[in-house]
Chains A and B, each alone.
Chain A
Amino acid sequence: DGGITQSPKYLFRKEGQNVTLSCEQNLNHDAMYWYRQDPGQGLRLIYYSQIVNDFQKGDIAEGYSVSREKKESFPLTVTSAQKNPTAFYLCASSASPGNEQFFGPGTRLTVL
């Protein structure tokens, strides 16, 4: 089946630790995105990548980092610099920038 997978589904982290969230797609999409969702709020864009080996900051990039070494993969690292990392993280992809985005099932990160 074609789609987007995110792992793990639930993730717990101690304060001060970096953690990496996985996002993989087999849709052959060029563009990939990371969003953060907090209760009662819409999604906010963290980082996006329009093509392999290129990415740009979104609206709330501070405390996060990404890489795009392969077309199908766009991992997100939540660093210890992110002051309030507990949230639901969603990865998305689109065939090209501007087309509709398809979303993964999400990773819920909790900082203990």
Chain B
Amino acid sequence: AQSVTQLDSHVSVSEGTPVLLRCNYSSSYSPSLFWYVQHPNKGLQLLLKYTSAATLVKGINGFEAEFKKSETSFHLTKPSAHMSDAAEYFCVVKAAYNQGGKLIFGQGTELSVKP
């Protein structure tokens, strides 16, 4: 069965410093992985997705993630945090092919950005 684990429930950084949000996955086949962002009381927005092409995936707003099969990880990074990056981030894996495109969500990591 597929699953994801976000290793930090909360991360705090200073504006202008790097961001690292950690995610490990478990999958019995080559996974499709996503990162979504959610600002307070809003819907989710897709940041980036990995679907077995390049292992380094670039997304919107300067975020990127690297798929590492040997480590079963898909960590999200950004070189320099901006105040507007403060939000909840979800690492997501797609369930097996016969489950209607179901997504399996991690518990979320809340990112705080200090001035």
Contacts and interface: CB of A to CB of B under 8 A. Distances in A.
Interface of A: 4, 6, 31, 33, 40-45, 48, 50, 56, 58, 88, 90, 92, 94, 96-106, 108
A101 B42 contact: no
Interface of B: 9, 32, 34, 36, 41-46, 49, 90, 94, 97, 100-103, 105-108
In the A-B complex, the 3 residue pairs with the smallest Cβ-Cβ separation, listed nearest first, are: A97-B101, A42-B105, A103-B43
Given A40-B107, A90-B44, 12 more contacts: A4-B43, A31-B100, A33-B102, A43-B103, A45-B102, A56-B100, A97-B101, A98-B94, A101-B46, A103-B43, A105-B42, A106-B41
Contact of A104 (B34, B43, B90, B102): B43
B101 A98 contact: yes
A6 B41 CA distance: 13
Of B9, B49, B103, B105, most buried by chain A (CB within 10 Å of CB) is B103
Contacts, number: 62
Nearest to A3: B43
A4 B107 CA distance: 24
A37 B73 CA distance: 24
A100 B97 contact: no
A33 B102 CA distance: 9
B53 to A, nearest CB: 14
Given A41-B107, A42-B106, A100-B46, A50 B41 contact: no
A51 to B, nearest CB: 10
A83 B101 CA distance: 27
